[in-house]
Amino acid sequence: MSATSGGKVLVCGGAGYIGSHMAAMLAENGYEVTVFDNLSTGHREALKWGDFFEGDLRNPDDLKKVFHSKDFDAVFHFSGLIVVSESVERPDIYYDNNVTGTLNLLDEMKRSGVDRFVFSSTAAVYGNPVSDIINEEHPLAPLNPYGRSKLYIEEILRDYHRAFGLNSVCLRYFNAAGARPDGIIGEAHDPETHLIPNILLSTLREGRELKVFGDSYATPDGTCVRDYVHVQDLCSAHLLALEYLNTNSGAEVFNLGSGSGFSVLEVIKAASEVTGIDIQYTIESARSGDSARLVADSSKAREALKWRPRYDDVKTIIETAWRWHKNPTF
Ligand code: UFG
């Protein structure tokens, strides 16, 4: 199977933000897509590509059924709960969904002889950065159950490679943002916690105030610095990861970020320029667990996967998000 000749792929979490963009890109690149999703946080309206199978990773019978329906060549796994604060309050739910659910999926892959797996990991595995730019060698010290749930799976994948020959790529996302440039799908979480959607929604929804969490961090303007990476660039890295697994065995990890850091206030300024609206905000106390600065060194992905992000400036990323938020499809 090559990235251009297609193959049968299962996209777990394909009704969610990144998963739906991935389903679209896979279909456009000739893959036969099956989406598996429990629709707990995903959107039925985002299911525009491939077959849909409604099911839950925590229910092994659901997995058995979907794996009996087709001979998959590879699995992409986007079905994660992602809200850090919620993971602190309900670690049981996070470990059940993100760890037990993934173990069920891996067991079913093993039983079905599917040996290629692309996993959505996160910069949260690094915890508080000890260097300005973070590469994959940075110490792993997640600060919350969400980050730990992802790190446990990374470690399990190394064990599954050694024991069962399962080949995997873990992609550690920094801050995913933006929407498909054609505006047919975009980013919508409930509740919305992410900066760029919250900035845009504050201009579109009556009474919705934008809060900036903390302005006394050790950064140039006191607000947190993040590395925003376009969702389409994340998806192109996943396609390349699948191609990589066609010719490489192992259990690899790659950072995915743009390598540029933007503060919260810089993002608000860029959004004001994109929207033509003078965006108002209030400064609130810092959110617990936010690191001052998270910026990726993605040179490993650029070299090994030949990944070339296309949306390398934050204004273009915001422009695509703005197009969708003005005309949301869900
Ligand atoms: N922020 C605000 N106001 C908001 C929303 C966010 O000021 O309304 C700030 C945050 O405090 C942070 C920055 O904007 O400084 C970015 O916040 P996001 O919530 O957009 O993103 P995070 O960096 O907190 O989270 C991202 C992913 C998570 C993942 C985390 C790992 O979206 O899924 O990185 O560090 F867990």
pLDDT in tens, 245-298: 999 999 999 999 999 999 999 999 999 999 999 999 999 999 988 889 999 999
Report, as residue numbers or ranges, the catalytic residues.
146
Mean pLDDT for the stretch of residues 210-238? 98
What average pLDDT does the structure give for the chain? Answer: 96
pLDDT recorded at residue 312: 81
pLDDT recorded at residue 129: 94
Q: Determine the atom of ligand 1 nearest the C-alpha atom of 267.
A: 14
Q: Is the CB of 84 under 6 A from ligand 1?
A: yes
Examine the pLDDT at 1 and tell me if it is beyond 60: no
* Separation of alpha carbons 4 and 10, rounded Å: 17
Q: Is the CB of 271 under 6 A from ligand 1?
A: no
For the CA atoms of 201, 205, 208, 209, what is the dihedral angle to 10 degrees?
A: 60
Task: State the distance from the centre of ligand 1 to the C-alpha of 287, rounded, in angstroms.
Answer: 9
pTM exceeds 0.85 for this model: yes
Residue 6 DSSP symbol = -
Alpha helices in 15-100 (DSSP H): 17-28, 60-69, 84-89, 91-94
Q: Is the CB of 110 under 6 A from ligand 1?
A: no
Mean pLDDT for the stretch of residues 189-205? 96
pLDDT recorded at residue 130: 95
The residue contributing the CA closest to ligand 1 atom 25 is 175
Task: State the distance from the centre of ligand 1 to the C-alpha of 286, rounded, in angstroms.
Answer: 11
Task: State the distance from the centre of ligand 1 to the C-alpha of 201, rounded, in angstroms.
Answer: 15
pLDDT recorded at residue 5: 59
Task: State the distance from the centre of ligand 1 to the C-alpha of 196, rounded, in angstroms.
Answer: 9
Q: Is the CB of 212 under 6 A from ligand 1?
A: yes
pLDDT recorded at residue 134: 98
